[in-house]
A and B are shown apart, each in its own frame.
Chain A
Amino acid sequence: MLSSEIKGDLLVLFHKNPGLIDSLDGVARRIGRVGTAIQADVQDMLSVHILGSRQVGGREIIFLDRSGDKAAQESILDYLKNLKGKRE
């Protein structure tokens, strides 16, 4: 999941600000970048349902998919638990 620094920045931004709903450019500005630089990472996070999107006035807006994010966190936790179990 954290295959890039941008994904890490986005994850921190949305976890600290779960009520953030903004355009690609708006989100990018909030982490000191431009829209084109974060586009690919946003797409990855949309595909695993950590982020959600919808259209407003012809523009795509991005927000934290609270249920998708919770599910992702749970599966990461399960994975880590299993990993620990296997090692023991």
Chain B
Amino acid sequence: MTRQKTGIVELDAMLHGGFLERDAVMVAGSAGTGKTTLSLQHLVNGITKFGEPGIYLTFEQLPDQIYRDAENFGWDLKKLEEQDKFRLVCTSPDLLLEPDGAGQLLDSTIKDIQPRRMVIDSLNHLEMYLPRGGDMRKEAYRVLNYVKTKGISPLAIWETQQTAGQAFNVTEVGMSFLVDCILLMKFVEIDSAMKKALVIMKMRGSDHDKELKEYAITPQGFKIQGSFSDYEGVMSGSPHKVASERFVDMFQKASEKHKGGLSH
């Protein structure tokens, strides 16, 4: 099996070497969790570390905002465009939903740079522009298959509603069966602080790390920091320390209290 590395070492380890080539990947999470950063880093690393050109297809943000945001992480997208290794395509979702819209919009770009990776930002926008009675799953299936048949691995962004609390129900998307791999990013409240958590919810045809990991968006980009091994119920939105950790806490507090008592 050929793996497509993200270039984020800890994430590749979680994926047991990377995404499977040409698998459709969904990055799901609420606003502010870093979906765009993770996706861009996947593309930039693909170009700079693995020689795989990429396309970022956006419906929402104008490219100049994405160029600017990428620059903050030290990624010079314009330079990569000049080298014909990257293209940032911005269009309206309704055009992509036209019969052969994907081909008309993307064929020449694909011919120009021969991409191996493509980010679609986002599937929610496609859904917004779906004509009444339209079937989102069919349209998403069509777009993802267009990308796959061009020999490109698609990574689609899906923005979920919840900000904190409540477990993400992958069936809410109704498209989980269309994608081969789902990465879920979410905010969790632990010890009165908002932290970010990532979990691989599904990876068709491959084993993967099932543990929930804490991550941060650093000036260098996406960084996985460790696991939430001391906590239970993180995904349900009400995390609490595991029994053994609670016991250690109680013991420490009692010990400190005892020391304080002796010192008086």
Contact = CB atoms under 8 A, between A and B. Distances in A.
Contacts, number: 56
The SS class assigned to the A binding surface is strand
Contacts of A26: 91-92, 95
Interface residues of A, number: 16
A57 B98 CA distance: 6
Contacts of A57: 95, 98-101, 104
B62 A20 contact: yes
Nearest to A54: B104
A84 interface: no
B142 to A, nearest CB: 14
Contact of B90 (A22, A54, A59): A22
Interface stretch (B81-89, B119-127, B247-255): B81-89
A19 B90 contact: yes
Nearest to B101: A56
Interface string A1-41: 00000000000000011111111001000100000000000
A77 to B, nearest CB: 18
B63 interface: yes
Given A57-B98, A59-B98, A18 B104 contact: no
B64 interface: yes
B87 A19 contact: yes
B62 A56 contact: no
A22 B104 CA distance: 11
Nearest to A29: B92
Task: Give the secondary structure class of B's interface.
Answer: mixed
Nearest to A15: B64
Given A56-B98, A57-B98, A21 B91 contact: yes
B167 interface: no
Contacts of A19: 63, 81, 87-90
Interface in B134-175: none
A61 interface: yes
B256 to A, nearest CB: 59
A55 interface: yes
A61 B95 contact: yes
B243 interface: no
Nearest to B86: A19
A22 B63 contact: no
Interface of B: 62-64, 81, 87-92, 95, 98-101, 104-105
Interface of A: 16-23, 26, 30, 54-57, 59, 61
